[in-house]
Amino acid sequence: MPLTKLNLRLDPKLFAEHGVNVNDDSLAERVNQRNKRMEKLYNQQAKRNKQKVIWDKSLWASGEISFDFKDWKPNERQNPIKAKNLGNKAFKLAHQMATNGHLNVIMSGDAGVGKTSLALAMLSKLKQDNKTVLFVSVIALSQLVSDQYEYNDRKEQLQDLKRAMCECDVLLLDDLGADGGSAEKVMSNGYTGARKDVQALMFDVANNRYEGTKKEQNAARKAGIKLSKPVHQTIITTNNMTEELERIYGERTISRLISRDPNHRLAFNDMEDMRTKEGI
């Protein structure tokens, strides 16, 4: 198709001065292809910028850690077969989450078994698959919630972080329950859970991620679309049992964040069995 068919007001003489024949059959196609390439590049760049803006809000307990699936070494673990299976399961789940999945993943086990590392490998893959991802250490978050009353810049940081926690494609909540105290304390009579301000924040985040933000819900209602839940996916690492997490943050929060589907639960060791046996 020649350029003259593109519905543009063209002055053929002006183009001829630059050696361009507006009646050339292949020109319009080339212009179209070029525009498409430019648009794709522009969208990729915009996505990358957004990814960086969100990732930079990550809250670390003691400095950023980078970990990829290639760093996962099953043979160096106590139980190599189990470690290999966990790695494979995590990789498949990350793929599922990247391709229009609507699922939450929980990784549970004692300290040092590799939960945070494997969860970070999933985030790294999701990032490559163009998802906006965010890391939040629950201990650091609890500290930030306390600090907001003393420092204004902390208050602003928390508001900003909360928005990102509600809206990002995939949120990693690292060490959920670590602010709740020992398992014995959590399960004792009269235990009242995490601090009320942390509980309230966690509920808002869990609810927005599960049901979608108000804006997303309104847009869906207008368009007559039913949102698939969870609208935004969450990966949890924890060394608490789900029952303990319910006592720390409340059942309504935990049911929105934690999957009961065994396919979406990674048990790193037999913590749950051990605790039951020991009667803890």
Ligand X SMILES: Nc1ncnc2c1ncn2[C@@H]1O[C@H](COP(=O)(O)OP(=O)(O)O)[C@@H](O)[C@H]1O
Selected range binding Mg ion among 110-118, 157-165, 190-198, 218-226, rule: CB under 5 A: 110-118
* Residue 108 within binding range of Mg ion, rule CB under 5 A: no
* Residue 58 within binding range of Mg ion, rule CB under 5 A: no
CB atoms within 10 A of CB 31: 14
Name which of 67 and 191 has its Cβ closer to ligand X: 67
* C-beta nearest to ligand X: residue: 114
* Residue 116 within binding range of Mg ion, rule CB under 5 A: yes
* Residue 51 within binding range of Mg ion, rule CB under 5 A: no
Cβ of residue 244: shortest distance to ligand X, in angstroms?
16
19 — phi, psi (to 5°)? Answer: 75, 20
105 — phi, psi (to 5°)? Answer: -120, 140
Paired sense of beta strands 133-137 and 265-267, if any? unpaired
Selected range binding Mg ion among 18-26, 82-90, 116-124, 176-184, rule: CB under 5 A: 116-124
Paired sense of beta strands 170-174 and 133-137, if any? parallel
Measured distance CA(215)–CA(218) in Å, rounded:
5
Name which of 166 and 178 has its Cβ closer to ligand X: 178
Cβ of residue 7: shortest distance to ligand X, in angstroms?
58
For binding to ligand X (CB under 6 A), which residues are involved? 71-74, 76-77, 83, 109, 111-117, 237
Contact 134, 54 (CB under 8 A): yes
Cβ of residue 58: shortest distance to Mg ion, in angstroms?
14
DSSP 6: G
Cβ of residue 35: shortest distance to ligand X, in angstroms?
46
Contact 241, 274 (CB under 8 A): no
Category of 80 on φ-ψ map: left (φ > 0), alpha (ψ -120 to 50) or beta: alpha
Cβ of residue 58: shortest distance to ligand X, in angstroms?
16
Choose among ligand X, Mg ion, none what residue 72 binds, the Cβ cut-off being 5 to 8 Å by kind: ligand X
Measured distance CA(236)–CA(258) in Å, rounded:
8
- Residue 35 tokens, joined: 């525009």
Name which of 116 and 124 has its Cβ closer to Mg ion: 116
Name which of 104 and 208 has its Cβ closer to ligand X: 104
Cβ of residue 108: shortest distance to Mg ion, in angstroms?
11
Contact 141, 147 (CB under 8 A): no
Choose among Mg ion, ligand X, none what residue 17 binds, the Cβ cut-off being 5 to 8 Å by kind: none
Measured distance CA(18)–CA(13) in Å, rounded:
9
